[in-house]
Structure 1
Amino acid sequence: EAVRLLSRHLPGIHALRNVSVEDFARLQHCLPETPRKRARHVVTDNARVLAAVKAMRDGNLQQIGEAMRLCHESLRDNYEVSSRELDLLAETAWGVPGCYGARLTGAGFGGCVVALVAEVAVDDLITQVSQVYQARFGRPPTVYTCRAADGVRAAYLPGSGW
């Protein structure tokens, strides 16, 4: 619905990815509240992702973390897919020194929070998040730690014909 309404003012757009943050800010008044909020998330998150790509290339973990925090807040406030549990996990993580950022991941309405954390802060983050979550919800969270991989690569098995 947002694309249809915005295309009256921005001929040629076919998706929200074609709408700049500036154009959206100028035209958002043309949208009813719910489509406006959903579109605001998509348009601003597209910009955040592009900024995060540059931050990754520049090695700027603080900027990546800030993009994660802003994404979580937008998913909570504009897309409305967060939950009390996810908000508590992300907000607690944000307060841990060495945590660059955290956000919900997956489809929302439950699920997971992913955090970007300095290796030296992982144990502190797990402890603090676990204590706060247990105190609030009466059960411990399940916490997984992982390291970033080198990225996607093609792998060929000998004799597989690939």
Structure 2
Amino acid sequence: MTEASLEDLARQALERCRAAGVRLALVEACTGGLLGATLTEVPGASAVVERGFIPYSYESKVEQLGVPLALLQAHGSVSAEAVEAMAHGALARSTADWVLVETGIAGPGGGTPQKPVGLAYLAVLQRGGQATVERHVFTGDRGQIRRAIVGRSLALLVERLGVGDLPPTVSAGG
């Protein structure tokens, strides 16, 4: 994914959030701040981005987000269960309306046959709603995988902030 297309997705996501009056929390358990950096590169992002978490270790997921250690031990931090638990934890520990979460294995090491390099789980959750969780296996080197995770995360947020999710008084054209 090119930097220009990431910037376009970031602008679109921020415009959708602003139009809907959404404040957003971010959890980056794989990209280490790249998602937040991509969003905050766009002027005016502070009207949308409420806070970010970068929980790389099990301990930080437990301490910062309240993810049960037993869940991480049973399923691993790169799992549908973990990404959803992080989403709920981030909303519980913020004033955000929505949260966007990613976790994965960017490589070059750390993969297994069951969880290969490039595996990522993404989640978007609206306060009071149901989480949307996606599983992907991205290809490329570490940088390409991290950018692909950011790109798909932003696209997922834009999709979830579609016309049907906006309050009736707000137009989707924003």
Aligning the two structures, in what range does the TM-score lie when normalised by the shorter sequence? Answer: under 0.3
TM-score (norm: length of structure 2): 0.26
The structure with the greater share of residues assigned to strand is 2
The structure with the greater share of residues assigned to helix is 1
Structure with greater contact order relative to length (CA < 8 Å, sep ≥ 6)? 2
Structure showing greater radius of gyration is 1
